[in-house]
C-alpha cells in the first residue's frame, strides 16, 4: 500500500505556524515512507478563500520546500460530488431530511449516527472512544443546499485516497463523526494522527497575540525557510537523540508518527532565532557575504574593501539579516551613531577618558596592527595597569563603533586600521568628555 497524506488547509490569507507544522509532519511522513504528499485546498468559504489567500498559501508551501506529488484538489470544484453522496446517504437510510427549526426555509440533510460506540486508535494519542449517547446526528447539507465541512472533508479524503489523516487535535471530536461517515459511505477508514496544539507560555493556543504566528511574518523578517521547517519539525517531535539542527534528509530518515509527542508543544521564539543563527553559520562564506552586501546596499551603505573580513567576523554571531546593517555600518562609515544608553553608562567618568587617551597612545606606538598584536597590547595595558577589562574594553568599543556589544574587539580594531581607530578614540573623547 502506498501511504498518501495530505495538507488540507482552508486558506485565509495567513498561514498559521500550527497549520504549517501539520503540513510538515504530513510531508515528512510521506517522504519517510516513500509515499505521496497531496494538497487539498478547502476553499468552500469563498469570502475568505480569495485567489490572493490561495496564492499566499502556495507561496508559503513553496518557501518551506513542501512539494506535492499531484495537482492540488480544490474543494469548491467538488460540490456536485458532495451533494450526490448526500443523496446516496439518504437513499441508503444513513441520512434524513429535516426542516430545522420549522422555519419553512427549506430542509437540510442530517446524517444519522449509527447508535453504537465509536473507538479508534490514534497514532499519536492512542485509543480514543466515544459512547453512542454522546454523539448526536449532525447536518451534512445546509438548508441553502451547501455541503458541510464534515461531508466535504471525508469525501475528498476518499477521493484523494488518503491513507493517513494527520491534523491538529482540534479535529479529534470531528473524527468520530468522520469515521461514521466513512462506514456509511462504504469506504475504508484511514489511519488518524492528531497533533498536539502549539501553545504559548501560559499553555493557551499560540496566536498572533503572542508574537509572530504566521509563516509570512517569519519570511519577511528574513528567517530561512529551512530553519523554520527544522524548528517546526521539532515542535512535538524529536529524532530520539540529541540532534536539533538537521538536514531535510536526516529529518526524513528519522521521522515517524509513533515518536510524535501527545503533549502540547510550546512555541519558543528564542529557540527559533537560535536555529536560524545555526543556518546562518552553516552558509558558505561567499553566500553570507552576498547576503550582507545586499542588506548594506539596500540601506545605502557601501561596503568597503575590508568587507569580507567584516562579514567573516559577523557570520557566527548573526541570526537574522536585519542585524547586519546596524552591526556593521560603523566599519564602512565614520558617520556612525552612538548608542546613547551605552554612552551614558560607560562614558560617564572622567577617568574613562584618561584611559581612552592612554590606549590611543599605546596603539599609536604599534608598528603592526593585526588582531594579535592589538590584542596583546590591550591585555598588557589592562594587566600592567592593574585595571579591569570591564572598565577598559566597553568604553573602547563604544569609542570605535558607538555600540556596546559586537564581535571580539581586537579583530574589529585590526579591520578598522590604526588611523581610523585613533581618530575615533580621539573624536569620542572630544565629543563626550564635557
Q: Using the CB atoms, write b or e for 255-272: b if 16+ within 10 Å.
A: bebeebeeebbbbeeeeb
CB-CB contact of 36 with 3 (8 Å): yes
Q: Which stretch, 5-13, 128-136, 198-206, 288-296, contacts ligand GLU (CB under 6 A)?
A: 5-13
Q: Which stretch, 4-12, 76-84, 204-212, 316-324, contacts ligand GLU (CB under 6 A)?
A: 4-12
What is the full DSSP assignment across 313-372?
HHHTT--SGGGHHHHHHHHH-S-PPP-HHHHHHHS-SHHHHHHHHHHHHHHHH-S--SHH
Q: Which of residues 17-76 bind ligand GLU (CB under 6 A)?
A: 42
Shortest Cβ 313–ligand GLU spacing (Å)? 45
By C-beta, is 142 or 171 nearer to ligand GLU? Answer: 171
Shortest Cβ 31–ligand GLU spacing (Å)? 18
Shortest Cβ 255–ligand GLU spacing (Å)? 18
Q: Which stretch, 2-10, 90-98, 215-223, 267-275, contacts ligand GLU (CB under 6 A)?
A: 2-10
By C-beta, is 42 or 295 nearer to ligand GLU? Answer: 42
Shortest Cβ 339–ligand GLU spacing (Å)? 45
Near ligand GLU by CB under 6 A: residue from 14, 97, 100, 171: 171
Shortest Cβ 112–ligand GLU spacing (Å)? 22
Q: Which residues, in sequence order, are CB contacts of 233 under 8 Å at separation 6+?
A: 21, 24, 25, 28, 246, 251, 255
Shortest Cβ 203–ligand GLU spacing (Å)? 21
What is the full DSSP assignment across 42-89?
----TTT--HHHHHHHHHHHHHTT---SSPPEEGGGGHHHHHHHHHHH
Site string for ligand GLU, 303-322 (x = CB under 6 A): --------------------
Q: Which stretch, 8-16, 28-36, 106-114, 377-385, contacts ligand GLU (CB under 6 A)?
A: 8-16
Shortest Cβ 208–ligand GLU spacing (Å)? 17
Q: Which stretch, 6-14, 118-126, 353-361, 423-431, contacts ligand GLU (CB under 6 A)?
A: 6-14
Give, in order, the Cα–Cα distances in Å from 52 to each of 13, 22, 57, 370: 7, 22, 9, 55
By C-beta, is 12 or 219 nearer to ligand GLU? Answer: 12
Q: Which one, of 195, 197, 198, lies nearest residue 212 by Cα? A: 198
Shortest Cβ 153–ligand GLU spacing (Å)? 5
By C-beta, is 189 or 245 nearer to ligand GLU? Answer: 189
Near ligand GLU by CB under 6 A: residue from 4, 5, 8, 150: 8
Taking residue 122's Cβ as centre, other Cβ atoms within 10 Å add up to 17
Which alpha helices (DSSP H) does 185-268 contain, by range? Answer: 215-220, 225-233, 248-254
Near ligand GLU by CB under 6 A: residue from 4, 82, 150, 167: 167
By C-beta, is 9 or 395 nearer to ligand GLU? Answer: 9
Near ligand GLU by CB under 6 A: residue from 44, 56, 143, 153: 153
CA–CA dist 223, 225 (Å, integer): 6
Shortest Cβ 168–ligand GLU spacing (Å)? 7
Q: Is 9 in the site for ligand GLU (CB under 6 A)?
A: yes
Taking residue 140's Cβ as centre, other Cβ atoms within 10 Å add up to 27
By C-beta, is 192 or 224 nearer to ligand GLU? Answer: 192
Q: For the range 306-313, what are the long-range contacts, defined as Cβ-Cβ under 8 Å and sequence gap of 24 or more?
A: 306/331, 306/415, 306/417, 307/331, 307/332, 309/411, 309/415, 310/415, 311/285, 312/285, 313/407, 313/408, 313/411, 313/412, 313/415
| Size of the residue set binding ligand GLU (CB under 6 A) | 7
Q: Which residue is nearest to ligand GLU (CB)?
A: 167
Q: Is 10 in the site for ligand GLU (CB under 6 A)?
A: yes
Give, in order, the Cα–Cα distances in Å from 414 to each of 372, 373, 399: 9, 9, 15
Residues in the chain: 434
Q: Using the CB atoms, write b or e for 388-410: b if 16+ within 10 Å.
A: eeeebbbbbbbbbbbbeebbebb
Shortest Cβ 178–ligand GLU spacing (Å)? 8
By C-beta, is 153 or 328 nearer to ligand GLU? Answer: 153
Q: Which residues bind ligand GLU (CB under 6 A)?
A: 8-10, 42, 153, 167, 171
Amino acid at each position: 500500500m502506498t501511504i498518501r497524506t495530505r495538507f488540507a488547509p482552508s486558506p485565509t490569507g495567513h498561514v498559521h505556524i500550527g497549520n504549517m507544522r501539520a503540513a510538515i509532519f504530513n510531508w515528512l511522513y510521506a517522504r519517510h515512507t516513500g509515499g505521496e504528499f497531496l494538497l487539498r485546498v478547502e476553499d468552500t468559504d469563498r469570502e475568505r478563500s480569495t485567489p490572493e489567500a490561495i496564492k499566499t498559501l502556495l507561496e508559503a508551501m513553496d518557501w518551506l520546500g513542501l512539494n506535492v506529488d499531484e495537482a492540488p484538489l480544490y474543494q469548491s470544484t467538488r460540490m456536485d460530488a458532495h451533494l450526490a453522496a448526500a443523496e446516496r446517504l439518504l437513499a441508503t437510510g444513513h441520512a434524513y431530511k429535516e426542516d430545522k427549526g420549522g422555519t419553512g426555509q427549506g430542509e437540510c440533510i442530517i446524517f444519522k449516527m449509527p447508535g453504537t460506540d465509536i473507538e479508534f486508535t490514534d497514532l499519536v494519542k492512542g485509543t480514543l472512544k466515544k459512547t453512542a449517547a454522546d454523539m448526536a446526528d449532525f447536518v451534512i447539507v445546509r438548508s441553502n443546499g451547501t455541503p458541510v465541512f464534515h461531508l466535504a472533508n471525508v469525501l475528498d479524503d476518499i477521493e484523494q485516497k488518503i491513507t493517513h489523516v494527520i491534523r491538529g487535535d482540534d479535529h479529534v471530536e470531528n473524527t468520530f463523526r468522520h469515521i461514521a461517515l466513512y462506514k456509511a459511505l462504504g469506504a475504508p477508514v484511514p489511519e488518524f494522527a492528531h497533533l498536539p496544539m502549539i501553545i504559548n507560555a501560559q499553555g493557551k493556543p499560540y496566536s498572533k497575540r503572542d508574537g509572530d504566528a504566521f509563516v509570512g511574518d517569519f519570511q519577511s523578517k528574513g528567517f530561512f525557510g529551512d530553519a523554520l521547517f527544522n524548528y517546526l519539525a521539532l515542535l512535538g517531535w524529536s529524532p530520539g537523540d540529541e540532534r536539533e539542527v538537521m538536514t531535510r534528509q536526516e529529518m526524513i530518515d528519522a521521522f515517524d508518527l509513533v515518536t510524535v509527542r501527545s503533549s502540547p508543544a510550546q512555541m519558543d521564539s528564542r529557540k527559533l532565532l537560535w536555529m536560524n543563527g545555526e543556518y546562518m553559520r552553516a552558509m558558505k562564506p561567499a553566500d553570507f557575504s552576498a547576503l550582507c552586501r545586499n542588506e548594506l546596499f539596500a540601506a545605502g551603505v557601501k561596503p568597503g574593501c575590508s568587507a569580507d573580513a567584516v562579514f567573516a567576523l559577523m557570520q557566527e554571531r548573526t541570526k537574522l539579516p536585519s542585524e547586519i546593517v546596524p552591526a556593521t555600518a560603523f566599519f564602512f562609515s565614520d558617520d556612525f551613531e552612538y548608542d546613547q544608553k551605552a554612552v551614558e553608562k560607560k562614558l560617564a567618568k572622567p577617568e574613562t577618558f584618561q584611559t581612552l587617551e592612554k590606549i590611543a597612545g599605546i596603539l599609536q606606538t604599534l608598528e603592526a596592527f593585526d588582531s594579535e598584536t592589538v590584542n596583546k597590547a590591550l591585555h598588557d595595558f589592562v594587566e600592567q595597569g592593574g585595571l579591569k577589562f570591564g572598565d577598559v574594553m566597553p568604553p573602547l568599543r563604544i569609542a570605535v563603533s558607538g555600540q556596546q556589544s559586537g564581535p571580539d574587539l581586537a579583530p574589529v580594531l585590526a579591520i578598522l586600521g590604526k588611523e581610523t581607530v585613533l581618530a575615533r578614540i580621539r573624536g569620542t573623547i572630544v565629543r563626550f568628555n564635557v
